[in-house]
């Protein structure tokens, strides 16, 4: 069979943006799990057009919630052309009934345990409507099919060493999507890390871990980092801020070539951290934790969220100075989003605070899909846009770059330069996050086929 795996995407900035920096792992991982007798292609909607005239026998679409309207439209178009279309990913997992109306077959949860059976069934024309994958065993997973990534991607080596996270933040679907904390054998991970058939030196040098919380199990993390030291790579990952309490770990991160850590700092308000179930973040430790990473030359990227119940428009905008002040090198600024499968979603649903007219494209981290406590939805969006514009102003971007010249190692400085340059240019061009409620053609219309072929009507998010 010929199988096309499509990773859906909807642009998240008003004037579009460079989307070729780093690829998703999902498509090339599913391709690697595919039995070798099948021919497989991976298409990233982020960087290439969808080949609707494909000869493929099976179309497999992966989507997050914010990109679901695109995934549904692609599915409807392929079905119109007589193709068999299957779906999976976080959105399908949490909205299975809705997804089951769009796709011929779906996978709920992780696909490893069911993917081969699904393909065999598709080949025989005996696809079941739903396949339920459980948390998979992490031993013996194949290396991603890096060879299938389009040349366009700047970074190529994305790796996953672990799945899941020991914490349960209220806004995060990881605990229900990837239950437990599971680790691949270090030798398997090293196979991905030492795969070196990339054209460019930086593609061979860089390892980008797409883990939820790579360093959560200290013993495993230290074993992995010790194994990485001789290979002299530069690597990045996301981690929880409590790593800074383990100096041996920090030293090993430095020795093994860590150039960047993404920390979910989220807020400067204790009430917000409580609402987020993020008690492992201690506000009084932020500055010290960042300094400890800087002492080792590591760039600190940090996520902040606007829209907690204790937030006001003024407190949201004030975060731009606060995050600068504590030493963050690259901020990532989101709006609180009640994804299905999270405690936050359930709370807002019970409180009647989900906005039913707002479709899935509002669930992309840059738009408002609920009624905030201290402002209305538009005020929250506006406060976020002001925060974003101020945090990526020339003054803040240049300030962050200047101070990082003397405290970051080369790779970390280059990362800081790229990211601040990337966002700073966007801010200069007034290319702010796209507002789904004005100006942008609605992606909610015409998405879910009522009879399996014809797209109909508005797709509200909570059907
Ligand atoms: C790496 C990562 C990123 C990276 C890369 C994003 C990308 N497009 O891949 C970055 C940092 C850019 C990112 C950004 C964002 N992310 Co993110 N990210 C992740 C993370 C940590 C890992 C994803 C991954 O690669 N997993 C490894 C692969 C192999 O697993 P997988 O994708 O889940 O696929 C498996 C199954 O789902 C299934 N499957 C998936 N697709 C398909 C398709 C078919 C046909 C089949 C059969 C099976 C199948 O099989 C696979 C193997 O088991 C997840 C958390 C998580 N645990 O999933 C969040 C997650 C996907 N991200 C999330 C969010 C919200 C975002 C942002 C919107 C955040 C923001 N505020 O801006 C942005 C969106 C921007 C973007 N371009 O995607 C949410 C999505 C929730 C939802 N319901 O949609 C997650 C689940 C985390 C969370 N907070 O809950 N993210
Ligand atoms: S620490 Fe990060 S990955 Fe873990 S539950 Fe919280 S937000 Fe999700």
Q: Where are the domains of the chain?
A: 2-137+442-456, 155-428
DSSP string, 372-388: -SSS-HHHHHHHHHHHH
Q: Is the CB of 172 under 6 A from ligand 2?
A: yes
- The CA 198 to ligand 1 mean position distance, Å, reads 24
pLDDT on residue 18: 75
Query: Which CATH number among 3.30.420, 3.50.50, 3.40.50, 3.30.1370 corresponds to the domain 2-137+442-456?
Result: 3.40.50
pLDDT-based confidence at residue 423 (cuts at 50, 70, 90): very high
Pairing of strands 448-449, 234-239: unpaired
Q: Is the CB of 240 under 6 A from ligand 2?
A: yes
For residues 329-343, average pLDDT:
98
d(CA 402, CA 404): 5
- Strand, coil or helix: what is 246? coil
**351, 285 in Cβ contact below 8 A?**
no
Residue 447 scores a pLDDT above 80: no
**86, 118 in Cβ contact below 8 A?**
yes
Probe residue for ligand 1, chosen from 111, 155, 381 as the CB with the greatest number of ligand atoms within 8 Å: 111
For residues 212-235, average pLDDT:
98
- The CA 240 to ligand 2 mean position distance, Å, reads 7
pLDDT on residue 442: 43
Fold (CATH) for 155-428: TIM Barrel (3.20.20)
**13, 146 in Cβ contact below 8 A?**
no
The percent of residues above 70 in pLDDT, for the chain, comes to 94
**CB 83: neighbour CB atoms within 10 A?**
18
Residue 461 scores a pLDDT above 80: no
Mean pLDDT of the chain: 93
Location of structure tokens 């040098």: 205
> For the stretch 228-248, what's the b/e string if a residue is b when 16 or more beta carbons lie within 10 angstroms of its beta carbon?
beeeebbbbbbbbbbbbebee
- Ligand 1 site residues (CB inside 6 A) read 24-26, 29-30, 60-62, 64-66, 86-91, 94, 107, 110-112, 160, 172-174, 177-178, 210, 212, 334, 339, 364-365
């Amino acid at each position: 069979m010929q199988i096309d795996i499509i990773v859906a995407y909807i642009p998240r900035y008003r004037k579009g943006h460079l989307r070729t920096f780093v690829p998703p792992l999902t498509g090339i991982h599913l391709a690697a799990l595919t039995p070798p007798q099948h021919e497989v292609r991976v298409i990233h909607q982020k960087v290439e057009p969808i080949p609707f005239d494909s000869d493929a026998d099976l179309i497999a679409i992966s989507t997050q919630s914010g990109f679901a309207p695109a995934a549904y439209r692609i599915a409807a178009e392929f079905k119109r052309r007589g193709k068999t279309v299957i779906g999976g990913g976080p959105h399908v997992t949490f909205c299975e009934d809705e997804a089951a109306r769009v796709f011929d077959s779906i996978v709920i949860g992780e696909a490893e345990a069911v993917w081969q059976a699904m393909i065999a069934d598709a080949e025989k024309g005996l696809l079941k409507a739903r396949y339920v994958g459980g948390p998979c065993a992490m031993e013996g997973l194949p290396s991603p099919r890096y060879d299938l990534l389009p040349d366009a991607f700047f970074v190529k080596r994305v790796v996953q060493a672990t799945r899941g996270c020991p914490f349960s933040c209220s806004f995060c679907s990881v605990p229900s999507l990837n239950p437990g904390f599971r680790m691949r054998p270090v030798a398997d991970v090293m196979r991905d890390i030492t795969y070196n058939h990339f054209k460019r030196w930086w593609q061979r040098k860089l390892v980008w871990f797409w883990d939820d919380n790579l360093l959560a199990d200290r013993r495993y993390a230290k074993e992995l980092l010790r194994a990485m030291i001789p290979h002299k790579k530069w690597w990045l990952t996301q981690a929880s801020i409590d790593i800074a309490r383990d100096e041996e770990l920090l030293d090993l991160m430095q020795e093994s070539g860590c150039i960047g850590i993404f920390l979910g700092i989220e807020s400067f308000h204790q009430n917000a951290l409580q609402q987020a179930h993020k008690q492992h973040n201690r506000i009084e430790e932020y500055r010290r934790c960042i300094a400890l990473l800087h002492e080792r030359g590591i760039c600190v990227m940090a996520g902040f969220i606007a829209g907690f119940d204790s937030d006001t428009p003024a407190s949201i905008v004030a975060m731009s100075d606060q995050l600068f002040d504590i030493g963050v090198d690259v901020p990532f600024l989101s709006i609180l989003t009640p994804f299905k499968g999270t405690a936050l979603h359930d709370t807002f649903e019970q409180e009647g605070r989900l906005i039913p007219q707002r479709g899935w494209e509002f669930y992309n981290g840059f738009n408002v899909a609920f009624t905030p406590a201290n402002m209305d939805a538009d005020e929250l969006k506006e406060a976020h846009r002001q925060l974003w514009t101020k945090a990526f102003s020339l003054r803040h971007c240049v300030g962050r770059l200047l101070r990082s010249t003397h405290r970051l190692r080369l790779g970390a400085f280059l990362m800081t330069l790229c990211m601040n340059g990337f966002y700073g240019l966007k801010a200069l061009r007034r290319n702010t996050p796209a507002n789904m409620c004005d100006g942008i053609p609605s992606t909610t219309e015409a998405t879910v086929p009522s009879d399996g072929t014809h797209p109909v009507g508005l797709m509200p998010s909570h059907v």
